[in-house]
Amino acid sequence: MDNRVVAIDGPAGAGKSTIARLLADRIKYTYIDSGAMYRALTLKVLDSSINIADTKEIIEISKEVDIDFMDKCIYLDGKVVDKQIREERINKNVSIIAAIPDVRKNIVRIQRRISIGKNVVMDGRDVGTVIFPNAFIKFFITASLEERAMRRCAEIEASGMSVDLQDIKCQIEKRDYTDSTREDSPLMQAEDAILIDTSGKSIEEVLQVVINFINLRGGDINAI
Ligand code: DC
């Protein structure tokens, strides 16, 4: 049987990575976070002397960068950078870098390469539309802006920092706008993706909905 891809796309903070991780564990697939790769590249750019507006240099870096995703960890040049890629400076700059078409070409190549020979659950913005248009099943997971901002605030507060809901809302709105209006592979629901609004739903509820759809699709997936 061919290797299978479960594609999970959606806007920032909709809960797709939480669902994708849990789903991958449940069905014994490999989880791949496609956004972590754009974040890792952004980290490399910000830690170098390159100007964030220097598109040409950023494209050069994206050609040679060593990015990998193994055992739910993101590697940049051989080092785990899970913590660093979640810093505010990355949140603020990643969508600028992810909007550069030649950067996307290089990152999509990595995303496809590391999925070869595996059954994967991959989450992102263009998994079902660009990276794997023939995915076995596609989901588009979303939630209201209010709810996404509140979840993000709760996450930040849980890590001991204080945060302003309005600031977070503006930040998410800005990122949504950049991601969905860029010319190359904008954030959008694939025609054949199943839309799930997670507003007011628990993680377990959403996970069950996703699993039910996979079963309906005839996924002879073990452990469901
Ligand atoms: O899912 P995330 O917040 O970690 O994604 C970080 C950024 O990367 C986000 O601004 C959009 C971009 N991204 C993308 O363009 N394509 C993907 N497949 C995944 C993420």
| Confidence tier at 161 by pLDDT (50, 70, 90) | confident
User: What is the overall mean pLDDT for the chain?
Assistant: 92
Q: What percent of the chain has pLDDT over 70?
A: 97
Measure the CA–CA gap between 207 and 53, rounded to whole angstroms: 40
Q: Is 125 close to ligand 1, i.e. is its CB under 6 Å away? A: yes
| Confidence tier at 56 by pLDDT (50, 70, 90) | very high
**Residues 109-148: pLDDT tens digits?**
999 999 999 999 999 999 999 999 999 999 999 999 999 9
* CA-proximal residue: ligand 1, atom 3 (nearest): 12
Q: Is 94 close to ligand 1, i.e. is its CB under 6 Å away? A: yes
Location of structure tokens 């490399």: 44
Q: Is 15 close to ligand 1, i.e. is its CB under 6 Å away? A: no
State residue 5's pLDDT score. 96
* CA-proximal residue: ligand 1, atom 8 (nearest): 35
140 and 190 Cβ atoms separated by less than 8 Å: yes
Q: Is 95 close to ligand 1, i.e. is its CB under 6 Å away? A: yes
Helices (H) and strands (E) in the chain, counts: 8, 8
- Mutation to probe ligand 1, out of 176, 177, 179 (largest number of atoms < 8 A from CB): 179
**Residues 15-35: pLDDT tens digits?**
899 999 999 999 999 999 999
Residue 202 has pLDDT above 80, yes or no: yes
Location of structure tokens 């802006």: 145
Angle between helices 165-181 and 145-158 (to 10 degrees): 120
The 79-80 sheet, strands edge to edge: 67-70, 73-76, 79-80
What would the mean pLDDT of 40-50 be, rounded to a whole number?
96
State residue 223's pLDDT score. 44
State residue 224's pLDDT score. 41
Q: Is 182 close to ligand 1, i.e. is its CB under 6 Å away? A: no
Going from the Cα of 146 to the center of ligand 1, the distance in angstroms, rounded, reads 20
Q: Which atom of ligand 1 is nearest to the CA of 16?
A: 1
State residue 156's pLDDT score. 84
State residue 219's pLDDT score. 66
State residue 130's pLDDT score. 96
Sign of the four-CA dihedral 97, 98, 101, 102: positive
- Mutation to probe ligand 1, out of 5, 34, 171 (largest number of atoms < 8 A from CB): 34
State residue 23's pLDDT score. 97
**Residues 60-96: pLDDT tens digits?**
999 999 999 999 999 999 999 999 999 989 988 998 9
User: Which residues, 6 or more positions from 41, have their beta carbon under 8 angstroms from its beta carbon?
Assistant: 58, 61, 62, 65, 67, 97, 103, 107
Q: Is 148 close to ligand 1, i.e. is its CB under 6 Å away? A: no
Going from the Cα of 131 to the center of ligand 1, the distance in angstroms, rounded, reads 13
**Residues 212-221: pLDDT tens digits?**
999 998 866 5
* CA-proximal residue: ligand 1, atom 15 (nearest): 98
* Strand partners for 197: 142
